[in-house]
Structure 1
Amino acid sequence: MKLFNRKAPRQEPEPETHGAVGLDSGRAELVLNRLQLLITRKLDGLLQGDYLGLLPGPGTEAGESREYRPGDDVRRMDWPVTARTTMPHVRQTTADRELETWMAIDVSASLDFGTAKYLKRDLALAAAAAVTHLTVRGGNRIGAVVGTSAAITRMPARPGRKDAQGLLRSIARIEPRAGRASLGELVDALNRPPRRRGQAVVISDFMTPVDEWARPLRKLGVRHDLLVVEIVDPRELELPDVGVMVFADPETGRVHEVQTADPVLRAKYAHAAATQRAEIASAVRAAGAAHLRLRTDSDWLIDIVRFVAAQRHARTRGTAR
């Protein structure tokens, strides 16, 4: 895995693929320490507040009631007050002092790809670190399930920064395998065993059929505040006009030569990619999840800050996320 200040090649337009290897102990410490500094000094400083999180929400403990506003979650309707006042009311909730967060992290071989500043695997680890460091405070617990093509690894939820850092080390050291993890099974692993309402985070590039994971994601969103982090590389959205390019599938090893000088081919590729991403976004909305897209050619810190600011603005206005 590359460190987070990796530069894109200056004169080499072809996409790069990198070997699927996990981090050794020294490399894991270096990367995670750098991430911790970035998050706690920069991101934490930009997102002021005692209880920070990537998905600031109302919590689950019952509070006061207020009149219903368009966009409010109908699952929080306060029917007794509504009946007494003949006006629709919703029950406000207060933040739990001990929040349990679970992450489902896809580390399929397709994440060992990047043509800009980062690998997609870099951003997956950065997203996991951001979720961890911004939620594990005040006794909050965080755990994870990590999926490869070989198995799904479950890491129990524990409180405290020391255990959180240990969780991130374990995630960073997992070696990806050739092939693709079943994203549907990975998401469903957060549904079993049933847990009290909390926060769930799914991190993946979603390079798999939507039908495989859409239903488990909807099921997860019924019970938990849900955040979906989608990792995208610009070459997955459109092809540059650079002549013949050789593509290698990191999951199967198959190699294809593509003539990118063909404008019709580039247009078809861009249209298919846009359709795929639209289907992903539609499935995420259907699950009632917040959707954060991180690109390998963007500043992920700024993207996270903008996302949290938008979430807080929507909450303040009483609109749905």
Structure 2
Amino acid sequence: MDKLNFLRYNYGIYYYSSSNNTITSATCNSNGSYGIYYYSSSNNTITSATCNSNGYYGIYHYNSSNNTITSAICNSNNQYGINYASSSNNTITSATCNSNNNSGIYYSGSSNSTITSATCNSNGSHGIYYYSSSNNVIYSLSTASNATAGVYSNNGLNIIHNATIAEATKVDTSTTYYANVRVHINNMGGYSYVYSNYATANSQAATAGGTGKEWKLAITNAARNTVYPFYIPIARVAVASSGKVTVKVYFKKSGTGIAGALRCRYGQITWSDAAQDIIVTCPDNTSRNQVTLEFTPTEAGVVEIEAGAWYVSSTSQTVIVDDIAITQA
């Protein structure tokens, strides 16, 4: 189908249990419910879609997977610009979702979808909203003037590779205990960020005596205590099947109201050490201390090393982590 124009219907385009359809160009504005609606439909392609001023959503995927949109403009809809509900493995090359009454792009129970580029400005809630959704990737995101925050997530891990987020609240997360929300932004203004419930981490220019960049971990609520610590990956290293591995990292705490540690999670590879996570806590002072973690593999593989922090008595103190060195005998 080519150059379709649907105005003021209930749905502009409606796919019901339909697959392998292609639309080259579609304009679906001012419809009562949705501009384009996928219901249990997969492997459909839209090259260009404009879905503005619809009663609910510009584009709605329900229980629909492996659909591709090359270019979508979904502005001024009554709820969301684009809504994925129980829909996974969908792809958008370029999306502009501005001035929608709720969020620009909304994921609910939807995972493993990819957006190459998204602009989500001036929406009534958030630019991007993840609800019970994980493993979604955005390669380039720009948000500004959204009412609540640039991004929201309440569960799982979602990744944004490059972001320009102008809102004062960049990422808003759930306060659900043990949800362990993770939004990773790999590059925002030249630095990396990890947002979680009750904790954040960001890279920054070295301030604590290290070289290059350092990580700063912050705990914002007492719920992130010894039973719910906050860890982030700081290195992945390929190891041989024998020979002790030594990891050395510098820690510096701004106060004794926060704790810090190195961790290597059990089960990544087999090793001759105890069958449990290896955790080495940094000294309980504000000096710059080198912390050493060691293990001896019995198989080759890739191992992730993590740095962590947890609440002791303060939610305003931080842990700096820098200058990692890894060797194997």
Shorter-chain TM-score bucket reads under 0.3
Q: Which structure has the highest helix share of the two?
A: 1
Q: Which has the larger radius of gyration?
A: 2
| Greater relative CO (CA pairs within 8 A, separation 6+) | 1
TM-score by length of 2: 0.23
